[in-house]
């Protein structure tokens, strides 16, 4: 095994992923420093106005490239977990059939069974641990493994994931003539193809030529289009999602490392009862 223990590579991947996570907001902050977003209030007729937000220039490619590097390290780390576990379970380094080893992310029980051939060096207790976290065991949309696998596959084999912005804060102030009733209806908080209709403002009674002023008071945060499609994950900011995934990943490394060696760099992430179960397995 040389000077490095098998799980050291997992933690190295984890640390590198964290570096990319910390760089993402730096790229974003450089981008918004030049005030790349603007707005306009468009009259659609009969007193109905739409407050539009739009990009003046696109998000730089560096943003999604950093995201792609983060995805690569996270997905690779999962495969490293299986490899390191196979080393301990088989007592061989490299383990048997190492070219076939990978961390399975399966949408169905059938797919899981078909992937067992890639996991032959692993003991039954570790297979059970893998089986328990598969997306088909619950809500696949909420499963972090399923999401990371999908985003990483897009980034590796198809195209870059699409970066965009969402309106994290908005508190518009409108000034309209006296004696008017104002109805405000919220619209989209995410820019699609660089554009979003944020509010619909209806003014009654309306007379063409009435003066209207608006201060949109918006704050923009980064978003990833493919990730925002998930009803579960889009409830949190992008940074919260990245941190959540890394917390799950650290616990996953710690669980297998502790099971194989009786210790882990982040053993504190594991409940004492779970640690005892791992050692007894």
Give the residues across from 173 on adjacent strands: 215
Of the candidates 33, 31, 111, the residue with the CA atom closest to the CA atom of residue 64: 31
**Residue 204 and residue 47 in contact, taking contact as beta carbons nearer than 8 Å:** yes
Task: Give buried/exposed letters for 75-87 (b at 16+ CB in 10 A, else e).
Answer: bbbbebbbbbbbb
| Residue 198 is assigned to a structural domain of this protein | no
pLDDT at 274: 81
Residue 105 belongs to some domain of the structure:
yes
- Structure-token match 């390191």, residue found: 84
- The parent domain of residue 120 ranges over 8-39+61-165+224-280
Total domains present in the chain:
1
Write the DSSP string, 60-77.
PHHHHHHHHHHHHHHHHH
Phi, psi of 175 (to 5 degrees): -115, 120
Query: Does residue 204 lie within any of the structural domains?
Result: no
**By C-alpha distance, which of 99, 93, 109, 107 is closest to 79?**
99
Q: Are strands 37-45 and 48-55 parallel, antiparallel or unpaired?
A: antiparallel
Which contacts qualify for 141-145: CB closer than 8 Å, 24 or more apart? 141/230, 141/231, 141/232, 141/233, 142/232, 142/233, 144/244, 144/245, 144/248, 145/78, 145/105
Domain for residue 256, yes or no? yes
Is 50 within the bounds of a domain?
no
In a domain? residue 190: no
* pTM for the predicted model, two decimal places: 0.91
SS3 content of the chain, % helix, strand, coil (to 5): 50, 20, 30
Q: Tell whether 247 is covered by a domain.
A: yes
Predicted local confidence at residue 2, as pLDDT: 47
Q: What is the pLDDT along the chain (281 residues), one digit of tens a residue?
A: 446 799 999 999 999 999 999 999 999 999 999 999 999 999 999 999 999 999 999 999 999 999 999 999 999 999 999 999 999 999 999 999 999 999 999 999 999 999 999 999 999 999 999 999 999 999 999 999 999 999 999 888 678 889 999 999 988 898 999 999 999 999 999 999 999 999 999 999 999 989 999 999 999 999 999 999 999 999 999 999 999 999 999 999 999 999 999 999 999 998 888 888 877 76
How far apart are the C-alpha atoms of 215 and 233, rounded to whole Å? 30
CA dist 281 and 260 (Å) reads 10
Establish if 117 belongs to a structural domain. Answer: yes
pLDDT of residue 3: 63
Which residue is associated with the tokens 């076939």? 100
Residue 36 near residue 57 (C-beta atoms within 8 A): yes
Q: Token pair of 62, please? A: 């560096």
């Amino acid at each position: 095994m040389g000077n490095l223990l098998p799980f050291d590579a997992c933690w190295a991947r984890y640390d590198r992923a964290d570096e990319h996570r910390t760089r993402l907001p730096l790229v974003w902050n450089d981008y918004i420093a030049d005030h790349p977003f603007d707005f306009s209030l468009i009259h659609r007729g009969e007193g109905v106005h739409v407050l539009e937000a739009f990009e003046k220039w696109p998000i730089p490619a560096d943003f999604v490239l950093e995201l792609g590097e983060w995805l690569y390290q996270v997905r690779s780390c999962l495969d490293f977990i299986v490899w390191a576990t196979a080393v301990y379970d088989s007592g061989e380094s490299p383990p048997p059939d190492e070219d076939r080893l990978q961390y399975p992310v399966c949408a169905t029980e059938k797919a899981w069974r078909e992937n067992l051939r890639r996991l032959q060096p692993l003991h039954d207790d570790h297979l059970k641990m893998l089986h328990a976290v598969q997306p088909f065991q619950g809500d696949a949309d909420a499963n972090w493994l399923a999401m990371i696998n999908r985003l990483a596959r897009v980034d590796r084999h198809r195209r870059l994931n699409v970066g965009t912005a969402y309106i994290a804060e908005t508190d518009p102030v409108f000034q309209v003539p006296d004696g008017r009733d104002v109805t405000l209806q919220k619209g989209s908080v995410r820019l699609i193809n660089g554009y979003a209709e944020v509010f619909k403002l209806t003014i009654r009674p309306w007379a063409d030529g009435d003066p209207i002023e608006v201060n949109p008071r918006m704050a923009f945060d980064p978003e990833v289009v493919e990730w925002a499609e998930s009803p579960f994950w889009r409830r949190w900011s992008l940074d919260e999602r990245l941190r959540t995934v890394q917390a799950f990943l650290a616990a996953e490394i710690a669980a297998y490392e502790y099971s194989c060696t009786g210790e882990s760099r982040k053993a504190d992430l594991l409940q004492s009862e779970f640690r005892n179960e791992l050692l007894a397995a």
